[in-house]
């Protein structure tokens, strides 16, 4: 097994009295694509948001190359530049063009020159097929286009790993395809990815590992083939059966 990029150790998250994550242990290696599946409310998104410290864990550790990032001495800004995130609701800066969305972070955080940042931004906008739309503002783009720009924005930081929080859940079926195609090609290029998703076909075909979560705990973890063809945990079985029933033909 190659080097571990991100590791969660006894991670716990509570919102007041409500425990959302209990004792999560998980690790992601370089080049791995990890899909996290499970019903809504099972803690998938919260876990992902903890990894980027958009939520502060109640207890436990988040290790980045073996170093705990929940400590105060950690430079959060530099860490987040290394571990990017793509959101369900895109969260593009609505006051900027697609191009500037991809430039701002590079200039502010990585201290790249404007010219260098623009060249890199163009490279990744081309990569996601959004080069003709560089001067469009987010309000002028469709959902799928917005999400591709958001992916380009994250890629422009040249991160080590990318977190995807249900990136296709707000899109119609045709747009889902264009976004998944981009993600598929990133996976083929060896980018380390953690993907929270309801796209079972993507989880099965693209990921190297799949985690099934329920009630704030990891119920089952394994190769996609094993999880989808031969789930061991009854909860996984129930989830997949119900999912297949409602999505017959799509899977």
Partner 1 sequence: MSFLNDVVNIVIKYYPNLLDGVGNTMLIALIGTVAGLVIGLLTGVVRTAPLSKNAVLRVLHKILNAVIAVYVEIFRGTPMMVQAMVIYWGYAFATGGSTLPLIPSGILIVSINTGAYMAEIVRGGIISIDKGQFEGAMSIGMTHSQTMLKVIIPQVMRNILPSVSNEFVINIKDTSVLNVIGVTELYYFAGIIKRQSFETFQTYLVVCVIYFILTFTVTRLLRWVERKLDGNDSYVIFGSQSDSAAEIRISREA
Least distance CB 80 / partner 1 (angstroms): 4
Q: What share of the chain is helix, strand, coil (3-state, %, to 5)?
A: 40, 25, 35
Residue corresponding to tokens 């929080």:
165
At 88, give phi and psi (nearest 5°): -60, -40
54 vs 244 by CB, closer to partner 1: 54
- Closest-CA residue to 43 (of 86, 6, 12, 70): 12
d(CA 141, CA 145): 6
Residue corresponding to tokens 């029933």:
245
Q: What token pair was written down for 180? A: 């998944």
* Sole binder of partner 1 in the list 123, 137, 198, 237 (CB under 8 A): 137
* Sole binder of partner 1 in the list 25, 113, 116, 132 (CB under 8 A): 132
Residue 167 engages partner 1 in binding (rule: CB under 8 A): no
137 vs 237 by CB, closer to partner 1: 137
**Residue 91 DSSP label:** -
Q: How many of the chain's residues bind partner 1 (CB under 8 A)?
A: 38
**Residue 158 DSSP label:** -
d(CA 67, CA 16): 28
* Sole binder of partner 1 in the list 18, 95, 174, 246 (CB under 8 A): 95
Least distance CB 240 / partner 1 (angstroms): 30
Least distance CB 176 / partner 1 (angstroms): 20
d(CA 210, CA 35): 5
In the window 47-86, what residues touch partner 1 (CB under 8 A)?
A: 52, 54, 72, 76-81, 84-85
Residue 128 engages partner 1 in binding (rule: CB under 8 A): no
d(CA 48, CA 118): 29
149 vs 218 by CB, closer to partner 1: 149
Window contacting partner 1 (CB under 8 A); options: 31-39, 126-134, 168-176, 209-217: 126-134
Residues at the site binding partner 1, with contacts judged by CB under 8 A:
52, 54, 72, 76-81, 84-85, 87, 89-96, 104-105, 108-109, 131-137, 139-141, 150, 153-154, 157
């Amino acid at each position: 097994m190659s080097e571990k990029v991100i590791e969660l150790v006894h991670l716990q998250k509570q919102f007041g009295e409500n425990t959302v994550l209990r004792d999560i242990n998980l690790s992601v290696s370089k080049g791995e694509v990890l899909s996290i599946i499970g019903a809504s409310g099972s803690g998938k998104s919260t876990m992902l948001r903890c990894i980027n410290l958009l939520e502060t864990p109640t207890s436990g550790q988040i290790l980045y190359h073996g170093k705990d990032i929940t400590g105060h001495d950690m430079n959060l800004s530099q860490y987040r530049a290394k571990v990017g995130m793509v959101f369900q609701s895109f969260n593009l800066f609505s006051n900027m063009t697609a191009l500037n969305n991809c430039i701002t972070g590079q200039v502010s955080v990585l201290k790249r020159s404007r010219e260098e940042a623009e060249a890199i931004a163009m490279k990744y906008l081309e990569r996601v097929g959004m080069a003709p739309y560089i001067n469009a503002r987010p309000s002028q783009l469709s959902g799928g286009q917005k999400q591709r720009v958001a992916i380009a924005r994250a890629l422009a930081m040249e991160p080590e790993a990318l977190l995807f929080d249900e990136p296709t859940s707000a899109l119609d079926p045709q747009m889902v395809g264009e976004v998944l195609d981009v993600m598929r090609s990133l996976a083929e290029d060896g980018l380390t990815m953690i993907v929270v998703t309801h796209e079972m076909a993507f989880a099965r075909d693209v990921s190297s590992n799949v985690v099934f979560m329920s009630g704030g705990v990891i119920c089952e973890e394994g190769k996609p083939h094993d999880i989808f063809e031969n789930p061991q945990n009854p909860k996984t079985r129930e989830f997949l059966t119900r999912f297949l029933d409602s999505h017959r033909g799509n899977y």
